[in-house]
């Protein structure tokens, strides 16, 4: 089964980094966010990836083009100009990097990949979200309902202090609680689709979230898999610093491949 990673956006809320590289290439612990996401999928046996590139996509291409060489020992024969690679530590992944346009919306990016995806179930996630979601259980959940689409629903920690009321009277103030946000569940990525989803996408100006998922919901073709575990979206510099601190702590929650 193929894994689509949406990696073409401008990442404007993280402009401190994205003025020079695309957001999915920003590093946590010396490895791009993309790598962390792919290691997660690979742990569950998903090893063929399609990266829907756009903004600064050439940097993503260059990273993976050089990946095998940089993760191997090398012998260089200067006289003959020959390089021999040895003891590679590179993962056994197949990676397709496709330019899906600079201003294409998320649904349109998936539509541009139709030829690669039209023959079976596929999964889609965003290039800036880290999680420990059990992907085998997610896929089994999707199959059990027989719908066109499944999204993973998450409830991220609140970013702000919370005032708790009883009627109109303030009774308690909690500074930046780590409990789940009161607004409830949101789409955390890690989606599964059947090829019929392409019938819902007309072109580049179609948003997966606004146009496709909402229509699928109205037609009773969308289900949500509730994930109560770890989920973290790297949207701002604050988010990035938190992910870095979790990695440096030695036991980042999303690093399921090494537990």
CATH number, domain of 21, equals: 3.90.550.10
CA pair distance 33, 49, nearest whole angstrom: 14
User: Which long-range contacts does 160-167 make (Cβ < 8 Å, 24+ apart)?
Assistant: none
pLDDT tens digits, 159-181: 544 445 555 544 444 444 444 34
For the four alpha carbons of 191, 225, 247 and 44, in that order, the dihedral sign comes to negative
pLDDT at residue number 158: 59
Specify if 173 maps to a domain: no
Structure token pair of residue 78:
């200067």
Range 148-163 average pLDDT: 74
pLDDT at residue number 167: 55
Full residue range of the structural domain in which residue 58 is found: 2-151+185-258
Specify if 101 maps to a domain: yes
pLDDT at residue number 22: 96
Specify if 50 maps to a domain: yes
Specify if 162 maps to a domain: no
Specify if 77 maps to a domain: yes
Specify if 56 maps to a domain: yes
pLDDT at residue number 192: 97
* Beta strand 48-53 pairing with 169-174: unpaired
Number of domains in the chain: 1
pLDDT tens digits, 33-87: 999 999 999 999 999 999 999 999 999 999 999 999 889 899 999 999 899 988 8
Specify if 68 maps to a domain: yes
Specify if 172 maps to a domain: no
Beta carbons of 17 and 26 less than 8 angstroms apart: yes
To the nearest whole number, what is the mean pLDDT of the chain? 89
Considering only the C-alpha atoms of the chain, give the largest distance between any 2 of them, rounded to a whole number of Å: 82
Question: Of 49, 205, 183, 21, which is closest to residue 116 (Cα–Cα)?
Answer: 49
């Amino acid at each position: 089964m193929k894994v689509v990673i949406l990696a073409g956006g401008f990442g404007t809320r993280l402009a401190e980094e994205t003025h020079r590289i695309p957001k999915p290439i920003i590093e946590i612990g010396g490895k791009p966010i993309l790598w962390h996401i792919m290691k997660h999928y690979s742990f569950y046996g998903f090893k063929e990836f399609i990266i829907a590139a756009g903004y600064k996509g050439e940097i993503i291409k260059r990273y993976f083009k050089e990946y095998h060489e940089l993760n191997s020992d090398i012998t260089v024969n200067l006289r003959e100009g020959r390089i021999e690679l040895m003891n590679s530590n590179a993962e056994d992944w197949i990676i397709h990097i496709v330019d899906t346009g600079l201003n294409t919306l998320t649904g349109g990016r998936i539509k541009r990949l139709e030829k690669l995806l039209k023959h079976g179930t596929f999964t889609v996630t965003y290039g800036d979200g880290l999680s420990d979601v059990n992907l085998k259980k997610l896929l089994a959940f999707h199959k059990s309902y027989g719908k066109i689409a499944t999204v993973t629903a998450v409830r991220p920690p609140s970013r702000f202090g919370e005032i708790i009321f009883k009627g109109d009277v303030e009774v308690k103030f909690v500074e930046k609680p780590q409990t789940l946000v009161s607004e409830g569940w949101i789409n955390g990525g890690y989606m599964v689709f059947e090829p019929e989803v392409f019938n819902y996408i007309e072109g580049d100006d179609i948003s997966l979230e606004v146009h496709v998922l909402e229509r699928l919901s109205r037609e009773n073709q969308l289900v949500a898999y509730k994930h109560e575990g770890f989920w973290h979206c790297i949207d701002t510099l604050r988010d990035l610093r938190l992910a870095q601190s979790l990695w440096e702590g030695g036991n980042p929650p999303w690093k399921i491949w090494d537990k």
